[in-house]
Structure 1
Amino acid sequence: MSGSHDHTHSHDHHHDDERWKHDGVRVIPGNQLDPNVPSTAGMDRKAAINFARVGAQKLWAGTVSIKPDAKTGAHHHGHLESIIYVVKGKARMRWGEKLQFTAEAGPGDFIFVPPYVPHQEINASRDEVLECVLVRSDGEAVAINLDIEPVEKPETVLWVDPVHRHPDEKK
């Protein structure tokens, strides 16, 4: 790069120091995640990063522990992108118009779910808890339950939270 840059600033550094002290980087200790997230039997979801906790405008991040054999129903998240990082256990993802495609992920693997893709999340283990970190591209809760005939029927235990609503719940 060529050219010179003027690094002189004409604003009050003392004021900026105070603002950044409180509005800068935030560390959310793992033992201080917010358990006040709608859940159901078979899962334990906790919020780490969202608007309410840190003022995040474009992201939601948290953890989820899913009991063995638990599954969601078929759904998609509209315009949102989702990333799932598997910490422990084995995740099985099904996707497609009839959930005919499948892939599995283990510890250290990342799963990317693009916008509008019909999918189903499954704990592929019958005896081990699945522990994941979940990140979404918006704090907005978007989930569209789909009435399709999946290859693998969901169990009676559904993942229910602001994004994965119970099928009987009114909006």
Structure 2
Amino acid sequence: MPHDGHHHPLEGNHTPPDGWKHSGVRVIPGNSLDVNTAQTPGMNRAAAINAARVGAQRIWAGTVHIHPDAKTGAHHHGALESVIYVVSGRARMRWGEKLEFVAEAGPGDFIFVPPYVPHQEINASSDETLQCVLVRSDNEAVVVNLDIEPVEKPESVLWIDPIHKTGGM
């Protein structure tokens, strides 16, 4: 197949013009994450890997710090898959049609949230911030708030932002 110079660097075995110097591996220092993401009371997100920062086309990765006792309302993320890695603190996840299932995760644990699963994210600690790394299977933020009465009700309307337009309650 002739080389026309117009290809995506990931197609085939073609080396980009820069020899991968700038289009290859990228290291994102932890102190340079982008906090210009949707921010909400009780939760702070920072993007490390996304389309704008590194040209990622199929994943988003970053950090999330969830304040003590913070809880979301019931929601799902459409077709997206999510992986949460707990760095410190204690995460409680509720899921199911009535949020009837519950599990907790601590430092070093991974949480997998499949597509369309109704769930609620909770910081299980009343005095420690829950720090996690979050990876999603797409750059597009998808949040579908559900009309499910949470077993553990958020203290206030949390997480209203461009993604969670109705507060997730």
TM-score, normalised via structure 1 length: 0.85
Deviation (angstroms), 1:166: 3.4
- Code of the residue aligned with 1:167 in structure 2: it is T
The answer on whether the counterparts of 2:158 and 2:167 sit within 8 Å (CA) in structure 1 is no
The answer on whether the counterparts of 2:95 and 2:117 sit within 8 Å (CA) in structure 1 is yes
Cα distance in 2 for partners of 1:157, 1:130 equals: 19
What SS does the aligned partner of 2:61 have?
Answer: strand
Deviation (angstroms), 1:81: 0.3
Give the 3 Å change call, closer, same or farther, for CA 160–25 of structure 1 in structure 2.
farther
Match of 2:68 in 1: 68
The answer on whether the counterparts of 2:157 and 2:167 sit within 8 Å (CA) in structure 1 is no
Match of 1:167 in 2: 166
Deviation (angstroms), 1:22: 1.2
Deviations 1:86-126 (A, max 9, x none): 00000000000110100000000000000000000000000
Tell me if 1:107 matches 2:101. Answer: no
What SS does the aligned partner of 2:22 have?
Answer: helix
The answer on whether the counterparts of 2:93 and 2:103 sit within 8 Å (CA) in structure 1 is yes
- Code of the residue aligned with 1:105 in structure 2: it is A
What SS does the aligned partner of 1:22 have?
Answer: coil
Match of 2:78 in 1: 78
Cα distance in 2 for partners of 1:168, 1:153 equals: 12
- Code of the residue aligned with 2:33 in structure 1: it is L
Deviation (angstroms), 1:148: 1.1
Give the 3 Å change call, closer, same or farther, for CA 139–162 of structure 1 in structure 2.
farther
- What is the Cα-based RMSD across aligned positions, in Å? 2.1
Cα distance in 2 for partners of 1:157, 1:64 equals: 18
Structure 2 residues not aligned, in runs of 5+: 6-14
- Code of the residue aligned with 2:85 in structure 1: it is Y
What SS does the aligned partner of 1:21 have?
Answer: coil
Cα distance in 1 for partners of 2:81, 2:115 equals: 5
TM-score, normalised via structure 2 length: 0.86
Tell me if 1:142 matches 2:142. Answer: yes
Match of 1:130 in 2: 130
The answer on whether the counterparts of 2:65 and 2:132 sit within 8 Å (CA) in structure 1 is yes
Give the 3 Å change call, closer, same or farther, for CA 104–117 of structure 1 in structure 2.
same
Deviation (angstroms), 1:17: 6.0
| Percent identity for Structure 1 against Structure 2 | 73
The answer on whether the counterparts of 1:141 and 1:162 sit within 8 Å (CA) in structure 2 is no
Counterparts of 1:29-48 in structure 2, within 5 Å, are: 29-48=29-48
Structure exhibiting the larger radius of gyration computed from Cα positions: 1
Cα distance in 2 for partners of 1:24, 1:81 equals: 25
The answer on whether the counterparts of 2:76 and 2:144 sit within 8 Å (CA) in structure 1 is yes
What SS does the aligned partner of 1:52 have?
Answer: helix
Cα distance in 2 for partners of 1:66, 1:168 equals: 16
